[in-house]
Amino acid sequence: MFKNLLIYRLAETWQPDLAALQEAADAATFIPCGATQPISAGWVAPRGRAHGTLVEPVGGHWLMRLMVEQKVLPGSVVKRRIDEMAERIEADTGRKPGKKQRKDMKDQAQLELLPQAFTRQIGLPVWIAPEQGLLMIDAASTARADEVITLLTKGLAGFSIEPIHTALAPSTAMAGWLLAGATHAADGEPPEAAIEPPAVFTIDRDCELKAPDESKSVVRYARHPLDTDEVRSHIEQGKRPTRLALTWNGRVSFMLTEQMVLKKIEFLDGVHEGQPTGNSRDADEAFDADAAIATGELIRLIPDLLDALGGEQQPGLYAPVDAPAALPPRLPDTPASDEPPPWE
């Protein structure tokens, strides 16, 4: 049900109200793009049923789904249309269009081509845990999550969220865990920066390390042991973990990023034990069961993860623990390479 998870803290100034949330969703239902509309966003039924309920309460959790539809206009098609327009102007006037005129031509070309453009739809599952005061969004990027937050803010009076801060930056904690693992494997003395991972988490076999300096060098491991001298050497030389594969309690595996985003979430075999499979359950039973399992597991995983990162800091009191001297400063958010990691 969830593949990625961006986690936010609901502001204490907003009191969750299911009726108000349902009313706001009904007022912002999804409508496909019009002929010249480049993008449209709105709520659809989480169960995938036409005209279904837009907010589904399951076990004390509220599930929603934002649909984003966008017209796809390839740049080459727009450029070809601009060139045609420019050639016509040059033939009529004897001069080439200037920079400002070409910009106006681009706007005109896009307007003309939008009715013929293909559309792409992206569904974003949204999960509100009112008792825990959390908002979770299944999105591949913060830009997509912002679309959810914007729509909720517009529709709900007083709605706001706050970023979650932890005492340890995720990259600092991940580096410490890797150093501790490599030290145990070599049966040596742990360095000062080593941090024992909590017992509920195990380190898996995928990792990405980046250098924070101008070299922007990247090392990626896929399905590879990480408790090695080679990994330890990369960290001690200055590279920082930006992604690390973990498993929680033998039940949920995921990739933790330096922004504390959970990616590639997978519920392991034991989680679904005893659940009917295949055609033995209808769509509603499947949705209810999957939702109960996903929210039930993840709502226990999240506090364990926050504890593993030193605990959540109160809003306005964010004072992250400094990285030990053996570790370099945090990386900027800009990626070192456009090449996707092998596990994407």
Distance CA 259, CA 344 (A): 17
Give the angle subtended at the CA of 81 by the CAs of 76 and 86, to the nearest 5°.
120
Inter-residue contact 238 to 211 (CB < 8 Å): yes
Structure tokens at 232: 């330890």
| Overall residue count recorded for the chain in this entry | 344
Per-residue model confidence (pLDDT) at position 274: 62
Q: Which of 117-121, 169-173, 196-200 has the highest mean pLDDT?
A: 169-173
pLDDT tens column, 270-312: 887 766 665 556 888 889 999 999 999 999 999 999 999 999 9
Has residue 221 got a pLDDT over 90? yes
pLDDT tens column, 42-89: 999 999 888 899 999 999 999 999 999 999 988 999 999 999 999 998
Inter-residue contact 124 to 138 (CB < 8 Å): yes
Distance CA 183, CA 195 (A): 11
Least confident of 179-188, 193-202, 256-265: 179-188
Has residue 330 got a pLDDT over 70? no
* pTM confidence score: 0.81
Residue whose C-alpha is closest to residue 291's, from 30, 73, 2:
2
DSSP secondary structure string, 164-213? Answer: -EESS-HHHHHHHHHHHHHHHHHT-PPPTT--PPPTTEEEEEEEEEE--S
Residues in Cβ contact with 115 at an 8 Å cutoff, skipping those fewer than 6 apart: 35, 36
DSSP secondary structure string, 46-95? Answer: TT--TT--SSEEETTEEEEEEEEEEEE--HHHHHHHHHHHHHHHHHHHSS
